[in-house]
Structure 1
Amino acid sequence: DWPTLKKLNKLPIREDDILIASYMRSGTHWTAELVDLVRHNGDTDAIKAHIHQRFHCLEISNKAWRGETNVLEDEADGSCYDEVQKMQSPRLLVTHQQTSFMPDGVLQGKCKTILVLRNPKSVIVSNTFMYNAFGTAFTEPITVD
């Protein structure tokens, strides 16, 4: 049961929202940094706060990013959805979700959407290193082969 993902389709999207959609390890954070810098007219002092304080992931709450809860517990209470709703405009949002979980407003073109694509081979290598860094979270090491 994934309450946040079920609610995500109905998340109200605002016209001034910017959504960055990408597969994991494709440059999501890098793109968010660039977009935030453009939004602030290149003023690096305006973006001194940690990146997770300047954007919100649609499927992971800020509590999970800070390590105050694990992602599965976080998902179960749906707090991520509530956090996104409470954000002030303009919102910078990111997601790794497939189109079927996107808010209806995104699919209707109500916000600016940036799709980040990276060479699939590079994504596989990057994900392999990330998953193996998790250690015992996976039953056995993952290889590129």
Structure 2
Amino acid sequence: MTASEGFHYYEGVLFYDGLLPASSLDAARKLKVREDDVFVMTYPKSGTTWLQQIVSLIRNSDDISSTDEVPLTKRVPFLEVVPPGEERIPISKVLDTMESPRYIKTHLIKRLLPPDIFTVKPKVLYLARNPKDVLISFYDFKAHPWSWKEYFDNFLKGNVCFGSWFENVEYWWEHRNDDNVLFLFYEDMIRDLKGHVRKIADFLNKSLDDATLDEITRRSSFNVMKENPNANFKAPFREGMRKLNRGKPGIWKSRLTEAENEAMEKAFSGRMKEMKIEFPFYSYDDD
């Protein structure tokens, strides 16, 4: 396959040239995983920034205010990237020098992750989002060179940056009951953020009093994060990209045509039935 300008294929998966060169992806696979590592795993545009905010505030629950002043890129580094700048040191190399416990973000599919993850078994928080909303949000993120029709077709084929939504979600859904895995749904977190902050804290073995729980929930709300530059940083891919957009589920209802929705159902529903994934397809306004 030939990639569009600015992109390349690595092990059959499409990636950006600048932040995700083959050398950085190679380095990410060689990361020495530690037992006390915590991985935040998602397919792109599935609430990653939101989950990074929550877990980092829980981790430092005794000093929330100062923690929230540190950029998320420092609190929960992005495993597979090479940050822009002169030195161009892969984040995986930076992680090697970090003290434990390390909190690490990744969008990589299972076969591109560090193999140690599956033997050392660190904690993994996996957040999944309705693929129809992911489709829209990823398109609006402008991380592609295509028209809407081209992008739509490529998304259904899994030929977008970071690959197939199915391949990303499927492994962790199958392992959702493992002791070291907490599988979460974006839509459920929207409906009960406070309850999910408590669930995540319990998973991380962090005890929160009621006041701290309330404060972490407040600082992890969409409206507060949107106003915090350290929680709503701009991604250095290209002009116009934003890490936080509308936040509410169900955006596909006003964006997909009837024919496009039918195409999504045909491509996704059968596969999801095979996976037996109990996915909430409701929107926030369905109450």
What amino acid maps onto 2:72 in structure 1? I
- SS in structure 1 at match of 2:93: helix
Query: Of 11, 19, 39, which residue of structure 1 is paired with 2:39?
Result: 19
Query: Of 66, 76, 82, which residue of structure 2 is paired with 1:46?
Result: 66
Which structure is higher in RCO with an 8 Å CA cutoff and minimum separation 6?
Answer: 1
Tell me, yes or no, if the aligned pair for 2:47 and 2:129 is still in contact at 8 Å.
Answer: yes
Instruction: Trace 1:110-125 onto structure 2 (pairs within 5 A).
Output: 110-125=121-136
2:72 matched to 1:32? no
Partner of 1:56: 77
Provide TM-score, normalisation by structure 1.
0.77
Partner of 2:147: 141
- SS in structure 2 at match of 1:32: helix
- SS in structure 1 at match of 2:45: coil
Whole-Å separation in 1 of the counterparts to 2:96 and 2:115: 15
- SS in structure 2 at match of 1:59: coil
Residues 42, 32 of structure 1: alpha-carbon distance in 2 compared, 3 angstrom cutoff? farther
- The alpha carbon displacement at 1:52 in A equals 0.9
In structure 2, list runs of 5 or more residues that go unmatched: 1-20, 153-259, 261-287
In structure 1, list runs of 5 or more residues that go unmatched: none
- The alpha carbon displacement at 1:17 in A equals 0.8
Question: Which structure 1 residue ranges, 4+ long, deviate > 3 Å from structure 2?
Answer: none
Whole-Å separation in 2 of the counterparts to 1:110 and 1:122: 30
Provide TM-score, normalisation by structure 2.
0.41
Report the RMSD for the aligned CA atoms in angstroms.
2.3
* Residues paired across the two proteins, number: 130
Q: Deviations for 1:41-87, whole angstroms, at most 9, x for unmatched residues? A: 264213121111111111113x33xxx26xxxx5xxx6232112112
Identity of aligned residues (%): 26
Whole-Å separation in 1 of the counterparts to 2:112 and 2:77: 16
